[in-house]
Amino acid sequence: MSEMGSQRKLIRPGAGENRREGSRAVRRKRTPPEQTNAEEFYYLKQMAARTPMVIVLNNDEELRGWIEWYDKSSIKLNRQKEPNLLLLKRNIRYMFKEEELRRRGRRNS
C-alpha cells in the first residue's frame, strides 16, 4: 500500500481553469490613467511649429507669443518685441492658437 501511495500524482487544475468553472469573472471598467500625455503632446506640437499663441490669464489679460518650453507647473512664452515671460500654469485661464482669432473674425464679418 505504501508503494502505491508514493506513485500517485497530484493533479490540480490550472489557475485559469478553476476561475472559469467555479465563479463568474466580473469585468470592471478600468479607471482612466491619471495622465494621458495629451497636454505634453499639445505643447510639443506647438513648440516644434513655433505656433503663435494667445494666452488668457485669470485676470483677463491676453498675452501673445510662442511656447519655448514647459514643465509641470509653468511655460516659457517667447514674445516678438517684448520680454519673454515665465508663466505659472495656475495663472492661465486658457490658451488657443492665434489663427483662431482670424478665423473667428471672418465668421463674424
- The pLDDT assigned to 5 comes to 57
Number of domains in the chain: 1
- The pLDDT assigned to 106 comes to 64
Phi first, then psi: give them for residue 80, nearest 5 degrees. Answer: -65, -65
Residue 59 lies in a domain: yes
Give whole-number Cα distances, 90 to 46, 48, 66, 75, 98, in Å. Answer: 20, 24, 18, 11, 21
pLDDT digits (tens, 9 = 90+) for 81-105: 999 999 999 999 999 999 998 887 7
**Model confidence, pTM:** 0.63
Residue 44 lies in a domain: yes
What's the CA gap between 62 and 94, in Å, rounded? Answer: 10
Residue 8 lies in a domain: no
Q: What is the CATH number of the domain that holds 96?
A: 2.30.30.100
For the chain, residues with pLDDT lower than 50 are none
Structural domain boundaries enclosing 43: 39-109
- The pLDDT assigned to 49 comes to 96
